Amino acid sequence: MDYADSDRARELADRANRLMEEVVLPIERERPGGMAVSSGTVAELREAAREYDIYAPQISEEYGGMGVDFRDALPVFEEAGRSQLGATAMRVDAPDEGNMHLLELVGDDLQKETYLEPLVEGEIASGFSMTEPLQGAGSDPKMIQTTAERDGDEWVIDGHKWWTSNGIEADVLIVLARTDQDAHPYNGCSLFLVPADADGVDVVRDVPHMGGGLRGSSHAEIRYENVRVPEEHLLGKLNQGFTHAQERLGPARLTHCMRFSGMAQRALEIAKAYTDEREGFGSTLSEKQSLRYEIADAETRLHVARTAIRDAADRIAAGEEARVPVSMCKVFTANATQEAIDLAVQCCGANGIGKDLPLADFYESVRQFRIVDGADEVHRRVIARDAFDDVNEAELEPLTRFGAPNTRGGRGH
Ligand SMILES: Cc1cc2nc3c(=O)[nH]c(=O)nc-3n(C[C@H](O)[C@H](O)[C@H](O)COP(=O)(O)OP(=O)(O)OC[C@H]3O[C@@H](n4cnc5c(N)ncnc54)[C@H](O)[C@@H]3O)c2cc1C
């Protein structure tokens, strides 16, 4: 399907596609699903991405990327999502991708030199620590309990976070903490760059979880006890932590949507290949009308998702916050991709459950998407608030209320 992408975006997506077809997918097909690849394979993949000239497209050239603008880079994210190894190869992988974007946006020169450049190179890894065990920050981030108090020219951080993706591997953690107890949390929290080896950082465990697949990503529980960082480790503006988190999350939600729509598209490609070859009840499965309709519906939903994502990205590129369109994309794409991957599993029978094909890993991976970056209900809340913002009471003028005179006059028939 063609979209209104620029020539530059198409050219980049073609290059990404060649990398996927010629390098990433052959490596993926050699590996049994469910088993994480080695760091050597990750290095090999990144080397190949550099050779194909499609490495960290979203980052400015001065920090080691390709300086492609957000809108033009989007189709690359979709290509990358077709394998669990694609985003890692092209260095467009979460959560580092969002963290690099944030560092580039609000980091100072020293922070960029210390953290952004090595992150782009793939020399270090990062995590974003916002969510807390109950009753702390979760769907309602205002419930944040972690604090940072100033002591001379240092900040002292105390808190208990979990589900910090990459938390086990991370060399640096971006931590959201309350810095003004009297202000509303949205105006009283800040972000800090915390080296993972700082005194008081206790990476308790990788929370056991569904998914992981070929990248074997961790989601860590971390205690921050009396962690001291110099004031230069404040990331962005004091008390603007939530604003900066939104600046990270808005585009990151769309890049997540594109990665998962790529995964869903590949799942359908596999399902179509399987059902086209597999025979039963006198014909190939791909000739059964009920399956064809389901594939048609899944393709339609993915097309709608991709179109909406591009619309939201255009708005962001034009300087809009685009909160409602982004929420619409997030909730719609999360459900459309989950349904498409579930359908692909069904179409492939036992091979959908087995791990010779990547479908079972995809299935485990996609389920989180309806929860991370804001659960479905949280985004529906945003959409509904906007929908009810401008209720037109005049629409109900013709109605007669109980006990009130009929204002329309005349006799009806
Ligand atoms: C794989 C994975 C990776 C993650 N990575 C990170 C990370 O790197 N950094 C980080 O900080 N966090 C991370 N998270 C945490 C994630 O952001 C939270 O799980 C999410 O914000 C929801 O918070 P919660 O789990 O506390 O759910 P809760 O707040 O306990 O909500 C539970 C459920 O209640 C429902 N719900 C919530 N609000 C409403 C409402 N208003 N109306 C109706 N229903 C509602 C939703 O269905 C929700 O799923 C990750 C989570 C997962 C699963």
Give a yes or no: residue 392 inside a domain.
no
For the CA of 371, the closest atom of ligand 1 is 49
Per-residue pLDDT for 114 more than 90? yes
- As for how many domains the chain has, the answer is 3
Q: Could you tell me if the CB of 313 is within 6 A of ligand 1?
A: no
Asked if 282 and 318 sit in the same domain, the reply is yes
Judge if the upstream peptide bond of residue 398 is cis by omega within 30 degrees of 0: no
Pairing of strands 172-178, 126-129: parallel
User: pTM of the predicted model, to two decimals?
Assistant: 0.95
The tens digit of pLDDT for each residue in 22-54 reads 999 999 999 888 789 999 999 999 999 999 999
Per-residue pLDDT for 366 more than 90? yes
The tens digit of pLDDT for each residue in 57-98 reads 999 999 999 999 999 999 999 999 999 999 999 999 999 999
* Residue from 139, 203, 383 to probe ligand 1 pocket by mutation (most atoms less than 8 Å from CB): 139
Give nearest CA residue, ligand 1 atom 13.
163
Site of tokens 């760059």: 193
pLDDT in the model for residue 317:
87
Q: Could you tell me if the CB of 368 is within 6 A of ligand 1?
A: yes
Per-residue pLDDT for 305 more than 70? yes
Q: Could you tell me if the CB of 250 is within 6 A of ligand 1?
A: no
Per-residue pLDDT for 411 more than 60? no
Asked if 362 and 254 sit in the same domain, the reply is yes
Per-residue pLDDT for 413 more than 70? no
Asked if 61 and 196 sit in the same domain, the reply is no
pLDDT in the model for residue 207:
97
Q: What angle do the packed helices 70-80 and 289-317 form, to 10 degrees?
A: 150
Contact 79, 17 (CB under 8 A): yes
Give a yes or no: residue 97 inside a domain.
yes
pLDDT in the model for residue 409:
65
Asked if 133 and 226 sit in the same domain, the reply is yes
**What is the Å distance from ligand 1's center to 143 Cα?**
13
Domain containing 342: what range?
A: 242-387
pLDDT in the model for residue 251:
87
* Residue from 144, 145, 163 to probe ligand 1 pocket by mutation (most atoms less than 8 Å from CB): 163
Asked if 383 and 269 sit in the same domain, the reply is yes
* Residue from 134, 144, 338, 371 to probe ligand 1 pocket by mutation (most atoms less than 8 Å from CB): 371
What does the alpha-carbon distance between residue 248 and residue 129 come to, in Å, rounded to a whole number? Answer: 13
Q: Could you tell me if the CB of 138 is within 6 A of ligand 1?
A: yes
Q: Could you tell me if the CB of 375 is within 6 A of ligand 1?
A: yes
Give a yes or no: residue 270 inside a domain.
yes
Give a yes or no: residue 2 inside a domain.
no
Q: What is the CATH number of the domain that holds 130?
A: 2.40.110.10
